[in-house]
Amino acid sequence: MVASAILLAFGLHLHSLVAVADLVGIPTIPFTTASGRHAYDIRRTQSVVVDSRYGNTTDTNGWTLISPTLDQFATTFQADLALVTGSDCSLGNEVKGNSIILTIDNCSGFVDAAGRWTSEAYRLDVTKENVTITGASPLGVWWGTRSLLQQAVLQNGTIQAGSGVDSPGWNTRGIFLDAGRHYYPPPFLVEMCNWISYWKQNTFHLHLSDNLYNNVEIYSLERQTGLYARFRLLSNHSAVAGLNIHPNESYTRQDFDYIQSACAARGVTIIPEIEAPGHALVISQWKPELGLEGQIDLLNISNPDTIPQMEAIWKTFLPWFHSKVVHIGADEYVDSHLSKNALAEVYNTFVNALNDYIFKISGKSIRIWGTFPPQANYTNNIGKNVTVQHWEGFEDNALFDYIDNNISVINSDDHFYLVQKYSGSYSQQLNKTLIFHGNPLGGAFAPNIFDPNNATNNPPRDSPYVPGQIAAQWNDYGYNTSTYLEAYDAWREGLPALADKQWGGKLTEDQYDAIFEILQASTPAQNLDRTIKSKTSTILHYDFASDDNSSGVVQDLSGNSYDGHTTCWIANNSIHFDNNCSLTTRLTSKGRNYTLTFDIHPNGVDVPLFTSPDSQLRSGNGSSTQIMLFSAGNAFALNYSLPLNTWTQASLVGRGNQTFFAVDGGEEMEFTTTIGVNGAFFVWTTMAITAPLRTIGGGGFRGKMKNITLVDYA
């Protein structure tokens, strides 16, 4: 199926001599094939050549302030090329044999959808002997290298001779993640950057403060005061002492530098958001006098200390941020006791004050969520140089309220909103139909489509006031809805397709379905699927039959040689855990689908059985003896405990978005989560938790195990 679909997709190029046609990729690449059937064999590349005039050049037009040089992008590309094609080529300034030449120039066609020059464009020229990527800047070259890697994967290592100019329609293409109501560790965020970079997305907007919500009409002030609220940046500066009292799930300046620079290395800019004056419970938990009476998740802007306190927070953190623009939130400032007009007046004052302050002390501009569109009868309106991120038609009309008034609007319309696991109104997966057919005038979605049902509400494709689209994923129901990786899972199937549309690509749904999994499996510098290379469907098998206690090596019989190491005693085809000994493997985690089976003979509870950085399978915790999985700081327990001092055959099963445990061939028990919805009711839902594989036993486990087997199906 897949192979023939690809042939169909490429048929146009393979069978014509000179043809103007897109190269199928995510996104597609405009291309004209040369006459003859020549192709460049990417696998036989002998050198990656950086035009020495531009080795130190950086892009100064993108959103980041820490843009890599052409030399740095070239180094990253060379490593990717080796990984994806196995080519072993040199990197330098001289052409040696078959070469990929990276240079910079200003070619015709380097323009965005509004006809403006863009630094992200590149030209691709392919001959039998070499490939030249001519970027408008090093960033343009970088996107060109993504095209080359993708073509290498899809065309079995070659790319046909020809040329094309490829230019993004919009300069803001990417994702938003709510890291306020759910923590995500820095390495996960970097893997996400690496993943989206392969699809030429350049923006990762991180929401760094927020709180859960309880309806103020129903619940007491005490309940509001105690709600989950977080501020993720951790500084010991006196101006913010006491603001972040949860250091474990926080980003230090060093963490944030790591995230920003690792993402920038692949062309992705982190846009940080600190949310106020709404969704700001963490600020009024810190300084109760700043909360609006009756609804303390809103700040009282009329309090003369409120704006100075927010300025003090920004002053502390602005030096951390390496982007030209920051996001001050300014979302959902709604209170049923006060009129919309009264709130809008103080809100506009707040936004303008921070706009001026942030620019004055850092030179950065700001973005806000669409909340109170300008009106003639307000005494003040938001400054026209504030970029608005539209999210809902009931808040504003992107075209009439902003674009027609020369205010730029990023499209984060909630047709593409995801809410983790459950929502009364939002989806848990991107809608592919909407991506490929979301233009009310016919055709695919594009960043200028704010309303997929009514074209009257959409600006033209070439509007200069649409920087692009950012697809948002929210954690409305908090920290225990999901694992870290489930944030990726929710986007996995649809986001690359949306990336094609954010760039202005022409991929069809059939083409996407044919190539997505192939490209996904080749994405460099990430393993978000937590796949493990394996010769057969058995990934790991320890039978402890012929292992030698003196070497400490536990043989893997799967054929993959994933041998383990242990100081535990091995006898009678089993491993004896005692004295805190453990068995360590070279593996980390296995993502969906998997079945991990093992025979276990425990002598006690409250111990870890299998541990990895992503998850841990435990028998008991504290006073509980239940089997449970830990992930993302939460425990998901079964109403089941392993019997002590006897053998049980157990299996941990990851199937689709669910995770199960079964013993002795009995019925599967499911690990689920119970999530609270606005303090009003609970919802039970699935958890997709990876199999933990790095360490077996340890942490005080006493007992025996035998016959540990991991297979890649469930």
Q: Which of 55, 185, 440, 613 is in the footprint of ligand NAG by CB under 6 A?
A: 55
Q: Which of 60, 156, 537, 572 is in the footprint of ligand NAG by CB under 6 A?
A: 156
Task: Tell me whether residue 127 or residue 261 sits nearer to ligand NAG (CB atom).
Answer: 127
Q: Which residues of 393-422 are buried (b: 16+ CB within 10 A; e: fewer)?
A: bebbbbbebbbeeebbbbbbbbbbbbbbbb
Side chain identity, residue 489: D
Task: Tell me whether residue 316 or residue 428 sits nearer to ligand NAG (CB atom).
Answer: 428
Residue 173: exposure state from Cβ atoms within 10 A (0-12, 13-18, ≥19): buried
In the complex, least distance from residue 438 CB atom to ligand NAG, rounded to whole angstroms: 7
**Which positions from 456 to 485 touch ligand NAG by CB under 6 A, shown as an x/- string?**
xx----------------------------
Does residue 19 interact with ligand NAG by CB under 6 A?
A: no
Place of tokens 């997966």: 429
Task: Tell me whether residue 291 or residue 494 sits nearer to ligand NAG (CB atom).
Answer: 494
Distance (Å, rounded) from C-alpha 268 to C-alpha 266?
6
**Which positions from 598 to 637 touch ligand NAG by CB under 6 A, shown as an x/- string?**
----------------------------------------
Residue 507: exposure state from Cβ atoms within 10 A (0-12, 13-18, ≥19): buried
Distance (Å, rounded) from C-alpha 647 to C-alpha 607?
17
Q: Which of 90, 128, 324, 440 is in the footprint of ligand NAG by CB under 6 A?
A: 128
Cα torsion through 542, 543, 545, 548, rounded to 10: 20
In the complex, least distance from residue 49 CB atom to ligand NAG, rounded to whole angstroms: 7
Q: Whose CA is closest to 502, among 472, 460, 542, 470?
A: 470
Pairing of strands 172-178, 203-207: parallel
C-alpha distances in angstroms, 195 versus 266, 505, 650, 694? 10, 18, 35, 24
Task: Tell me whether residue 234 or residue 276 sits nearer to ligand NAG (CB atom).
Answer: 234
Q: State the DSSP code for 427.
A: B
Task: Tell me whether residue 497 or residue 714 sits nearer to ligand NAG (CB atom).
Answer: 714
Q: Other C-beta atoms within 10 Å of 227: how many? A: 18
**Which positions from 267 to 286 touch ligand NAG by CB under 6 A, shown as an x/- string?**
--------------------
Does residue 353 interact with ligand NAG by CB under 6 A?
A: no
Largest CA distance in the chain: 85
Task: Tell me whether residue 343 or residue 628 sits nearer to ligand NAG (CB atom).
Answer: 343
Q: Which of 232, 279, 367, 421 is in the footprint of ligand NAG by CB under 6 A?
A: 421
Is the distance from CB of 70 to CB of 102 less than 8 angstroms? yes
Q: Which of 349, 362, 380, 428 is in the footprint of ligand NAG by CB under 6 A?
A: 428
In the complex, least distance from residue 429 CB atom to ligand NAG, rounded to whole angstroms: 6
Checking 660-668 for CB contacts under 8 A at 24+ apart, the result is 661/627
Is the distance from CB of 366 to CB of 355 less than 8 angstroms? yes
Piece of 6-14, 353-361, 500-508, 613-621 that binds ligand NAG (CB under 6 A) = 353-361
Task: Tell me whether residue 225 or residue 380 sits nearer to ligand NAG (CB atom).
Answer: 380
Task: Tell me whether residue 428 or residue 624 sits nearer to ligand NAG (CB atom).
Answer: 428
**Which positions from 522 to 551 touch ligand NAG by CB under 6 A, shown as an x/- string?**
------------------------------
Q: Which of 121, 159, 196, 434 is in the footprint of ligand NAG by CB under 6 A?
A: 434
Task: Tell me whether residue 197 or residue 555 sits nearer to ligand NAG (CB atom).
Answer: 555
Pairing of strands 47-50, 90-92: parallel
Piece of 449-457, 459-467, 604-612, 636-644 that binds ligand NAG (CB under 6 A) = 449-457
Distance (Å, rounded) from C-alpha 530 to C-alpha 560?
17
In the complex, least distance from residue 707 CB atom to ligand NAG, rounded to whole angstroms: 4
Residue 653, beta-bridge partner list: 595, 660
Distance (Å, rounded) from C-alpha 386 to C-alpha 388?
6
Q: Which of 35, 220, 302, 385 is in the footprint of ligand NAG by CB under 6 A?
A: 385
Q: Which residues of 154-169 are buried (b: 16+ CB within 10 A; e: fewer)?
A: bbebbbbbbbbbbbbb
**Which positions from 364 to 383 touch ligand NAG by CB under 6 A, shown as an x/- string?**
-x---------x-x-----x
702 is written with which tokens? 């006493």
Does residue 648 interact with ligand NAG by CB under 6 A?
A: no
Task: Tell me whether residue 132 or residue 147 sits nearer to ligand NAG (CB atom).
Answer: 132
Just list the catalytic residues: 332
Does residue 253 interact with ligand NAG by CB under 6 A?
A: yes
Distance (Å, rounded) from C-alpha 686 to C-alpha 617?
17
Does residue 567 interact with ligand NAG by CB under 6 A?
A: no
* Closest residue to ligand NAG, based on beta-carbon distance: 127
Distance (Å, rounded) from C-alpha 533 to C-alpha 559?
11
Piece of 84-92, 307-315, 450-458, 624-632 that binds ligand NAG (CB under 6 A) = 450-458
Cα torsion through 124, 126, 129, 131, rounded to 10: 20
- Residues near ligand NAG, by CB under 6 A: 52, 55-56, 95, 101, 106, 108, 117, 127-130, 156-157, 236, 252-253, 341, 355-356, 359, 365, 375, 377, 383, 385, 421, 427-428, 431, 433-434, 452, 454, 456-457, 592-593, 597, 655-657, 685-686, 707, 709, 714
